[in-house]
Chains A and B, each alone.
Chain A
């Protein structure tokens, strides 16, 4: 089975406010807030770690969610965000434009 790699788009602005991650896409000014689980996936989207691995190591452990359900939810979440140009999705590892300085 091929892996899915996710990276954050370079058009994105993001900041935590009161436990919620605000995300805005400068291309079309769409504005989102991500819940805790989505934030954890988004933060781990470094272009190098396979999505399956992110969900297993970050989500299932941190949030005590059933692994199978978590994988399905994550796939849906990634599909939504990639549709809005917020996450880039590939079957190959990618470079993350924001990795070093993210807060």
Chain B
């Protein structure tokens, strides 16, 4: 186990929030077709409020801090917040579409010691990317910004979201990332809108297309192991937990709402009314999330995939129960290994589950 994993495990065992994802705004200059956010500003936290939150997070032991949105650079105070976060010695990652980053911004980001910049790009073809972002010229601006940042020596990752519109563009984009000298990640997750509207789910790639993703050696280097049938479930597996959400990781919205994860919309407290520490330690919702072991899961505890499945409790929650299966991950487990899942067997004869996919690597202990 690497030292970093060891420390992450320690944070998990001790219940220390080693990693936090903070959205500083939901406003955005792009209008991506698959975005689940409401871009109106309903009262974002002020500069002083966010600085106060950052102080509390440092106090609580947060080490990895992700600034995201919306588009973070739409906040005029973003560099002020960034500078403050770095003075508090967080390891900072920024998620952005980068269209507002030019050379001067790239230099400033480098000077502030930001760890990683993750940039959304959806295709190597400008017309496809711009059609998805609905911002003409966005591809060109984003790629230009990537070059500025790479030239500064920043660690840049291109993050692609796989959907029906760009299903066959991943290889080309991965090649572009290699030419640019930056990392590439692929996320086939389309989440319902925050208001529960599920219309954007029609953009999800059909489950039948998943084997193409899983059997692409450029994306999955350890393919054989990855696609192997699940190992027999042990006692230890059943004593295990799903993921770091609520254990050593949480999400904070621009309005100060705290959730177990960015993909787990269970309201667990608001930082404008309570101290972060109080929410982290005493929120009944977070306590419940933390209490759930694999053996407590309704369907999954009897599933042969339970030890290797990427079951996301957040997606399960959105489907009705955080103790239940997440059909996205059922599809993934099935199309990865060819072995039917407990949820599928239970549902056979009923309506076919919604095709939904979830691969979301977390900085720590995903």
Physical interaction between A and B: yes
A residues lining the B interface (CB < 8 Å) = 9-18, 20, 22, 24, 26-27, 29, 31-33, 97-98, 100-103
Say yes or no: is B223 at the interface (Cβ < 8 Å to chain A): no
Contacting residues, chain A, for B86 (C-beta < 8 A) = 10
CB-CB nearest 5 A-B residue pairs: A13-B91, A11-B113, A15-B63, A26-B115, A103-B58
Q: How many A-B residue pairs have CB under 8 A?
A: 75
Q: How large is the interface on B (under 10, 10 to 19, 20 to 34, 35 or more residues)?
A: 20 to 34
> Can you list 19 A-B pairs with a CB-CB distance of less than 8 A?
A10-B112, A10-B113, A12-B89, A13-B63, A15-B18, A15-B58, A15-B61, A15-B90, A17-B7, A17-B10, A22-B63, A26-B92, A27-B113, A31-B3, A32-B3, A33-B3, A33-B7, A101-B87, A101-B89
Assuming the A-B contacts A31-B3, A33-B3, are A17 and B91 also in contact, with contact meaning beta carbons closer than 8 angstroms in the complex? no
Which residue of chain A has the shortest Cβ distance to B88 in the bound complex?
Answer: A101
In the assembled complex, B356 has its CB within 8 A of some CB on chain A: no
Cα separation A100 to B84 with both chains bound (whole Å) = 11
- Which B residues from 77 to 97 make CB contacts under 8 A with A? 84, 86-92
Residues of A within 8 A of B91 (CB): 13, 24, 26
Question: Looking at the complex, which one of B10, B14, B115 makes contact with A13 (CB distance below 8 Å)?
Answer: B115
Q: Which residue of A lies closest to B93 (CB)?
A: A26
In the complex, A100 Cα to B83 Cα: how many Å? 13
List of B residues within 8 angstroms of A31 by Cβ: 2-4, 7
- Please report the C-alpha to C-alpha distance between residue A24 and residue B59 in the assembled complex, in whole angstroms: 18
A38 to chain B, nearest CB (A): 14
CA distance A29 to B153 in the complex (A): 12
Question: Given contacts A24-B91, A33-B7, is CB(A15)–CB(B62) below 8 Å?
Answer: yes
Would you call B113 and A17 a contact (CB within 8 A)?
A: no
- Closest Cβ of chain B to A37, distance in Å, is 18
Bound complex: CA of A19 vs CA of B237, how far in Å?
Answer: 30
A33 to B8, CA, bound (A): 12
B92 partner residues in chain A, CB cutoff 8 A: 13, 26
Q: Which of B90-134 contact A (CB under 8 A)?
A: 90-92, 111-115
User: Which chain A residues lie closer than 8 Å to B11 at the CB level?
Assistant: 17
Query: Does B88 lie within 8 Å of A103, measured CB to CB?
Result: yes
Residue of A nearest to B111 (CB): A10
> Given the known A-B contacts A33-B7, A103-B89, are A17 and B18 also in contact in the complex, defined by CB atoms under 8 Å?
yes
Task: Give the docked Cα–Cα distance between A46 and B65 (Å).
Answer: 24
Annotate B40-67 by CB proximity to A: 1 below 8 A, 0 otherwise. 0000000000000001001101110000
